[in-house]
Amino acid sequence: MKLTKTEILVVAKLANLPIKESELDLYSDQLSEIISYIHQLNSVDTKGVEPTFNISPVENVWQPDHVEPSLTQDQALANAPAKKDGFFITEGVFGDE
Amino acid sequence: MKYTPVIGLEVHVELNTKTKMFCRCSADYFGKAPNSQTCPTCLGLPGSVPFINQQAIEDCLKIGLALNCQVTKDSLFERKNYFYPDLPKGYQISQYRWPLSTDGSLEIKNNQNETLKIRINRVHQEEDTGKLIHQGNKTLVDYNRSSVPLVEIVTEPDFTDSISVRNFAKSLQQIIRSLGVSNADMERGDMRLEANISVRPEGQTALPDYRIELKNINSFRFMVAAIDYEIKRQAEELEAGKTLHQETRGWDEDKKETFLQRSKENANDYRYFPEPDLPKLKIDEEFLSKIELPELPAIRTARFMSEYQINQADAELLSENEAVAKYYEQVVELGSAQDLSPKQLASHLINKQKLNITDLSAEGLIAQLFSQKNNILDDDSEIEKIVKEVIAENPVWVESYKAGKTTILQAFIGAVMRKSTQKPNVEKVKVLLLALLEKA
Amino acid sequence: MSKLTDLTLTETLEGLKTKQFSEAELNRAYQDRIDEFNPGLNAFLTITPGNTGIPVAIKEVIVTKDIQTTAASKILDGFLPPYDATVITKLLDQNICVSGKTNCDEFAMGSSGENSAYGPTKNPWDLTKVPGGSSSGSAAAVAADLCVFALGTDTGGSIRQPASLCGVVGLKPSYGRVSRYGAIAMASSLDQIGPITKSVGDARQVLEWISGPDGKDSNVVSSKFSGSKLQNNLTGLRVGVPKEYFGKGLDQGVEKVIRTALSKLEELGAKLVEIELPHTESAIAVYYVVMASEVSSNLAKFDGTRFGHDRSQFGAEAKRRIMLGTFALSTGYFDDYFIQAAKVRTLIKQDFDQAFERCDVIVGPVSPTVAWNLGEKTKDPLTMYLSDAYTIPASLAGIPGLSVPCGFSDGLPVGLQILGKYMDEETILNVGEVYENATEWRKQKPNL
């Protein structure tokens, strides 16, 4: 299976990844090779097999509704590249919700 | 050509739990300093992982059960992946393929006042996003609301008019308030409605191949107006030979029209997959048996009808609000000793008292009705008026009373009784006489 | 007495207890070695010298409060976490101090350490070779005696493989044994934190300290790990030898060393049982679908708003995996890739369940080769991926795996992989310790 440059661009947009035009060929080749390799999975007979999403055997793990301390506002904002009056700043809204 | 609307609803309800959905930060974000109630988890810091709030799961199940849903035995959280600055992790933990409950229904009245059964597709658990404030080309972000528990209720496209939608939303609001799981306040955003609307030629059974999503509408009234506007607009567009496409529209209250917010041509691919950080939920009978539902309005209505022999309309009015229902039942109990029938009391509460339960206690109401029933004059000012007249008309009696002849009081009472057309409350007459004779 | 920095954790604890040396002397000794050898090895990215506690190296993907944690990525350059990972909190309670943060492949994505945005770590046995990865700095730091022990993370082999290539002990605990809270996630359903140590006994001690529930990572199992008592022989032990781990691709020199180790186990009383793990050949494909899918979602939080820098700062391997995962989860491919991989994952787990009906542990090589030359595989991601063929299946099945030094090939260390039943670290540690005590490999040190 071959991922075209256009498909790479679609995936990159979905993943919110800035990809340079000059990188497209390389990613197209490398990802195509990996996807071709992965494709072998479809030859495994999985009829009647349940998927495994989480290997831990635990279930119903939850906590009572008791408040625990939060970070302070300063701690929350400490690593922010841009902030103002206790808010984080982001450069306008990107993409689509 | 005539067109029939096809309308489905998605309702988000913010739960009133003390803590957030996936961390134990306080969920009470209203009016708090920005970003003062966050932790690595709800802030989406590297290394953080979610932990489920048990109360929220119970609340979500309560809503599902109240809407007659089937509880999913093996339920999973999933990640809904998309980028938006109010979504700190880059995904929302939600449910998609394995929601907590599915396949419910709610009966409501349509615009012809006929009973209509609305099918509920699902009731699932998810988390809220942060809040954005736009300032010029910058956007400020506050994550206090991030990860507050949200329950999403999705109906099948069973509505064909805006009144049904309003009735459904109101009924749902009452149910949620009865359950005590949310304030379900529209203006505060505790309850958010999204309607999916399309129209199809009358008689067509296939669903239309487009739908218009109405979003960010924060009152029942605006929702009705927006739906009515859309139904008309879409029919006109189709009539004019235009093709309608998937899009999201909002409501402009000033212009009284809907407007395009986003066309769905670049629809997002949310890439849902099971949330690997969270174990599955196994909701068994034992767990469900511990969840107690209060009496819901619809159940109460039925009970009032059979227990008190009142009609459906009255029973509904008395059932929808918990406090009113409680007041009514109190009055019925007190009234039974005085031969006041539940039907009579219902009628009084609805027609005379206009369902106001704050000005008069249940006891007070019964005393008042008892007097009326026995043609007793109980009104303080009426009695006072007559007492004053009798005193004025009998100065000699007043003199003897003042001279110490207290037995003359009987003569006063007799005079008051004769003067009144109704039978006055004797106790009240006595008290007023004594008080007014002191001043005379 | 040997040098302070040669001592294992167990010996160090004993030495401190009996006041043979002070914590300050201990820290000074390690600090001197870091100063001398780290510039050549590039094992530590941040050094946080102190003079109390037991100095330990922490992989760069484990968050440490107020100590820079970058996941070896430019995107997190300068990030000072406002909290400690659970494992750090637990270690601090044991008088452990963080002496520095160790280099690794960016976001733990790699098998050679070369994907670090801060330059590769060198193998202490040969500075022209890779140390393995992704816990490259942690393994190199332990091998070069720059710390008493180190913590790494293992998603598809990232503790076991560098431990093998650097000639030290590495333990990947069962999934759910150790809290992941504070481990910057690569693939959430696979990631585990574990120790890289100078002896098997040390690994047992560290696991006892760091395991157990914390009210943060919901997947942690509540049963407590308790170090079992040491036995002197392996009488009656059934050792499963999977034929799939000795096929084509296994370097002859490595195979010879592993076969010798198997003979040693027999000599110690174990019985070798040939077993089959028929879905082994699908494991890498499953891994790359599941892991990349989770990566694409886990790395979405890096948007440069609350911390870090913009998404152009991801390295090439991170970008590749994000795109691969985004693709595997997208409409039209989800069922064929993600769901199919999750089903084959079940088959791989069942392979182990069936094998463990016939044996108590499974033993084989960790890596098909010894350490390779720096730069040798960087051009070809798929070849790099294939080098994890023996470690990935256990990760997918969630079972514990131990790498124990078992000899040399071409002068470079070879590790013996010992896999156990889910939540049965006791047995693999016991087997490893009996083997370790019966051989001299642990005592070999690189000549720096």
Residues 6+ apart with CB under 8 A from C120: C42, C103, C112, C113, C114, C130, C136, C374
What are the C-alpha distances in Å from B33 to residues A92, B40, B185, C307?
22, 18, 22, 20
pLDDT score recorded for residue A95: 43
Show residues of chain B in contact with C216, CB under 8 Å.
49, 51
Contacting chains of C (3 CB pairs or more, <8 Å) are A, B
Quote the tokens at residue C282.
């699908």
Distance from CA of C400 to the nearest CA of A (A): 12
- Asked whether the bond before C134 is cis by omega within 30 degrees of 0, the reply is yes
Whole-angstrom CA distances from B314 to B267, B308, B348, B354, C228 are 48, 11, 11, 12, 73
Express each pLDDT in B217-270 by its tens digit: 889 999 999 999 999 999 999 999 999 999 999 999 999 999 998 876 556 899
* Cα separation, B13 vs B154, whole angstroms: 11
Mind giving me the DSSP string for C115-158?
T-TT-PPPBTTBTTB---SSSHHHHHHHHTTSSSEEEEEESSST
Q: Chains A and B: how many Cβ contacts under 8 Å?
A: 130
* Plot region of B216 (φ>0 → left; ψ -120 to 50 → alpha; else → beta): left
A94 touches chain B (CB under 8 A): yes
The pLDDT of residue C147: 98
Q: Which of A70, A84, A93 sits opposite B85 (nearest CB)?
A: A93
Q: Which pLDDT belongs to residue B159?
A: 96
> Do C423 and C177 contact (CB within 8 A), yes or no?
yes
CB < 8 Å to C71, chain B: 46
Considering only B173-187, B331-345, C141-155, C257-271, which range has the smallest mean pLDDT? B331-345
Average pLDDT over residues B166-178: 95
Question: Nearest by CB to C85, which of B47, B88, B141?
Answer: B47
Please give the structure tokens belonging to residue C437: 């005590």
Contact assignment for A52 to C339 by CB distance below 8 Å: no
* Chains touching A (3+ CB pairs < 8 Å): B, C
Share of chain C above pLDDT 70, in %: 99
Write down the catalytic residue from C134, C135, C174, C199.
C134
Q: How many CB atoms lie within 10 A of CB C221?
A: 19
Lookup: tokens for B429: 């007459």
- Determine whether C158 is an active site residue: yes
Choose, out of B24, B49, B87, B269, the residue to mutate when testing the contact with C (most C CBs < 10 Å): B49
**Does C427 have pLDDT greater than 60?**
yes
- This complex has an ipTM of 0.96
Structure tokens at B206: 């296939």
User: Average pLDDT over chain C, rounded to whole?
Assistant: 96
At residue B239, the pLDDT reads: 92
Q: What is the largest CA-CA distance in chain C?
A: 66
In angstroms, the separation between the Cα of residue B132 and the nearest Cα of chain A is 9
Q: What b-and-e string marks burial along B295-326, b requiring 16 or more CB atoms within 10 Å of the CB?
A: ebbbebbeebbeebebeeebbbbbbbbbebbe
Q: Between the CA of residue A7 and those of A3, B270, B320, C330, what are the distances in Å?
A: 6, 17, 55, 12
The 10s digit of each residue's pLDDT in B100-128 is 999 999 999 898 989 999 999 999 999 99
How much is the average pLDDT of B75-83? Answer: 97
Distance from C-alpha of C324 to C-alpha of A37, rounded to nearest angstrom: 12
* Cβ-based contacts of C212 with chain A (< 8 Å): none
Catalytic residue among C59, C172, C198, C421: C59
Nearest to C94 by CA among C54, C150, C49, C138: C54
Establish how many alpha carbons lie within 13 A of residue B436's alpha carbon, considering only the half-sphere containing its beta carbon.
21
Quick one: pLDDT at residue B265? Answer: 59
Confidence band of C285 (pLDDT split at 50, 70, 90):
very high
- The per-residue pLDDT for B419 is 86
Among the residue ranges B82-91, B394-403, C430-439, the one predicted with the least confidence is B394-403
Place of tokens 């100095």: C55
* Confidence band, pLDDT 50/70/90 cuts, at residue C317: very high
Tell me how far CA of residue C342 lies from CA of C64, C172, C189, C395, C396, in angstroms: 33, 21, 11, 13, 10
User: Which pTM was predicted?
Assistant: 0.90
Nearest to C138 by CA among C126, C153, C117: C153
Contact yes or no for A61 and C219 at CB 8 A: yes
Task: Decide: B318 and B350 in contact? Cβ < 8 Å.
Answer: yes
Instruction: Identify the active-site residue in C136, C158, C367, C403.
Output: C158
Whether C68 has its CB under 8 Å from any CB of chain B: the answer is no
| Unique residue bearing structure tokens 């929220």 | B56
Higher pLDDT, B383 or C59: C59
pLDDT for C366:
98
Closest-CA residue of C relative to A92 is C305
Pairwise CA distance, residues A9 & A7, whole Å: 5
Spell out the residues 6+ positions from residue B124 whose beta carbon is closer than 8 angstroms to its own: B60, B94, B95, B96, B99, B100, B101, B151, B152, B154
Q: What pLDDT score was predicted for residue A96?
A: 42
* Interface probe with C: pick from B277, B278, B280, most Cβ of C within 10 Å: B277
Which residues, 6 or more positions from B321, have their beta carbon under 8 angstroms from its beta carbon?
A: B174, B355
Q: Kindly report the CA angle at B292 between B291 and B295, in degrees rounded to 5?
A: 145
Cβ atoms of C243 and C210 closer than 8 Å = no
* Overall average pLDDT of the C318-335 stretch: 95
Which segment of B286-290, C81-85, C288-292 scores lowest on mean pLDDT? B286-290
Kindly report, residue by residue over C106-129, the tens digit of the pLDDT. Answer: 999 999 999 999 999 999 999 999
pLDDT of residue A92: 63
Provide the pLDDT confidence category of residue C229 given band limits of 50, 70 and 90.
low
The SS3 assignment for C412 reads strand
Q: Is C136 a catalytic residue?
A: no
For residue A51, the one-letter residue type is P
Helices (H), B130-246: 162-179, 220-239
Could you tell me which chain C residue has the CA closest to the CA of B92?
Answer: C297
pLDDT for the residue B266 = 58
Nearest CB to C305 within list B141, B271, B279: B141
Going by the DSSP 8-state scheme, the letter that residue C238 receives in this structure is E
Shortest CA distance to A97 belongs to which of B76, B268, C46, C372?
A: B268
Strands of the sheet containing B91-94, edge to edge, are B91-94, B78-81, B273-274
Q: According to the model, what pLDDT value does residue C414 have?
A: 98
Separation between Cα atoms, residue B39 and residue C83, nearest integer Å? 9
Kindly report, residue by residue over B356-368, the tens digit of the pLDDT: 888 888 888 888 8
Residue-level pLDDT at B375: 76
Q: Which residue has the tokens 């003062």?
A: B36
Task: Give the integer Cα–Cα distance in Å for B236 and B239.
Answer: 5
The reported pLDDT for the residue numbered B425 is 83
What pLDDT is attached to residue C304? 95
Instruction: Please answer yes or no on whether C306 and A35 come within 8 Å at the CB atom.
Output: no
| Closest residue on chain B to C326 (Cα) | B271
C134 tagged catalytic: yes
Residues of chain C positioned with their CB less than 8 A from the CB of A76: 82, 306
Q: What is the pLDDT of residue B365?
A: 86
Give contacts of A58 with chain C, Cβ < 8 Å: 176, 218-222
Which segments in chain A show pLDDT lower than 50? 94-97
For the purposes of burial, counting CB atoms within 10 Å of the CB of B214, is it exposed (0-12), middle (13-18) or buried (19 or more)?
Answer: buried
Distance CA B197, CA B210 (A): 9
Supply C412's token pair: 């470079």
The whole-chain average pLDDT of chain B stands at 92
Assess whether pLDDT exceeds 80 at residue B374: no
